[in-house]
Amino acid sequence: MIPIVKINNYDIACMFRDRLKTKLRNPVTLEDENNGSFTIFIDENDFELARIIIQEVTQELKDEEQARWAENMDAWASNGRSMKPGRAPRASGESLLGQLRSAGGPLTLSVAAACVAVYLLFFFIPESLLEHLSAAGFSWSEPASWYRLVTPVFLHFGFAHLGFNAAIWIWAGGRIEKTLGRGTLAALFFLGAVIPDYAQMHISGPNFGGMSGLVFALISFCWIAGLLNPQRYGAVRLPPGLMIFTACFALLGLADILPGMSMANAVHIAGIIIGLLFGAYMALFVGGRRLRLEK
C-alpha cells in the first residue's frame, strides 16, 4: 500500500476514499494521522487510475467552502512520483453548459430542463399546461390522476421562482446524485414532490406550482445526513447557514409577513419534514449499516 493523497478535512477525505473504493479493485484505506490530517492508501498498481479519479473529484469541488478545502489540500505519492497540491478549477473559463454538466447528473439536469421547458411553454399554452399538470383533478379513486401529485413540481410562474429553485436543485441535487447515487436522488424527488404537493392541495387547494417543497427537502436532507453521519454523508453536507435560512423563510411564510408574496406554506413545511426524516433514516440506518459492513 502507498499513500496517494493527504487531506486536512475529514469530510473531504471520506469523499475521496469512497469514490476510490467504487472505482478501484484493490483495497483503499483511510488513516488518521492524529494531527488534523488524513491519508488515503491504495495498492501501488492502482496509482495512475487513482490519480485520475482524484482529479475528477477535485473538479466537483465547485462551491466556495469546498474550494477552500481543496486549496489547503496537501497531496503526494510515493516511489519518486509526486502530485502537486490540488485546487478546484475556477468556473470562469468554463462555459455555462459545462458548469451545469459538472454540477449535476442526468436526473438532476433532466428535471431542471423539464422545468425550464414548461416555463417557456407557459407563455404560449398556459391553459393547456394548467389543465394537464396542475393538482386540480387529482382523486385517490382515479389512479390515472395520481401523476398530478408530481407534475406541479414543473410549474413555475416567475423567472425568479424558477431560477432559485433550479439553482438549488442542480447544486444540492447534483451532490446527492454524484455521491450517493441516482436512486437516492430519485427517492428524494418522489417523496419531496408527492407528500408536500398533497399536503398543499389538501390544506389550500390545487392552485400552486413549483419545486420549492422539493428544494426544501434537498436542503434539509443534506444538512441532517451530513450532521448525523459525516463519515458517510459529509460530501453532501451544506453550510448550516443555508438550513437556518430555509427554516426562517418557512416560518416567515407561516407568519404571513412577507409583502407581495403568496407562499405555499404547506409545501415548504412538508418538504423540510420529509428531508429531515429521510436524511436521518439514511444517516442512522442505511449509512450505519454500510459502515458496519466495511469494518
Grid coordinates representing 154? 414543473
My answer on whether 138 and 111 are in the same domain is yes
Nearest residue to 9 (alpha-carbon basis) of 260, 164, 230, 229: 230
Grid coordinates representing 136? 386540480
What pLDDT score does 134 carry? 92
pLDDT tens digits, residue range 79-123?
334 443 333 434 444 555 566 666 778 899 999 999 999 999 999
Domain end (from 55, 89, 123): 89
- Phi, psi angles (nearest 5°) of residue 175: -60, -45
CATH number at residue 190: 1.20.1540.10
What's the N-to-C CA distance of the chain in angstroms?
A: 18
Q: What is the sign of the dihedral through the CA atoms of 52, 57, 58 and 62?
A: positive
Cα separation, 174 vs 111, whole angstroms: 11
pLDDT tens digits, residue range 4-54?
888 877 778 888 888 888 888 888 888 877 766 788 888 888 888 888 888
Average of per-residue pLDDT values in the chain: 79
Domain count, the chain: 2
Cα separation, 139 vs 79, whole angstroms: 67
CATH number at residue 8: 3.30.70
- Amino acid identity, position 133: L
**What is the mean predicted confidence (pLDDT) over 46-71?**
66
What pLDDT score does 110 carry? 93
Cα separation, 88 vs 81, whole angstroms: 21
* Active site amino acids: 212, 268
Q: From its phi and psi, is residue 79 left (phi > 0), alpha (psi between -120 and 50) or beta? A: left
The domain containing residue 14 runs over which residues?
2-89
What pLDDT score does 218 carry? 94
Q: pTM for the complete prediction?
A: 0.64
pLDDT tens digits, residue range 145-163?
999 999 999 999 888 889 8
Q: Which are the contacts of 125, defined by CB distance < 8 A and separation ≥ 6?
A: none
What pLDDT score does 253 carry? 74
My answer on whether 269 and 124 are in the same domain is yes
Q: Does the structure show a pLDDT above 60 at 67?
A: no
Q: Does the structure show a pLDDT above 50 at 74?
A: no
Cα separation, 146 vs 97, whole angstroms: 34
Q: How far is CA 42 from the centre of its chain?
A: 28
- Cβ atoms within 10 Å of 39's Cβ, excluding its own: 18
pLDDT band for position 224 (cuts 50, 70, 90): very high
- Cβ atoms within 10 Å of 117's Cβ, excluding its own: 11
My answer on whether 10 and 129 are in the same domain is no
Domain end (from 89, 120, 145): 89
My answer on whether 159 and 254 are in the same domain is yes
Nearest residue to 73 (alpha-carbon basis) of 24, 38, 42: 38
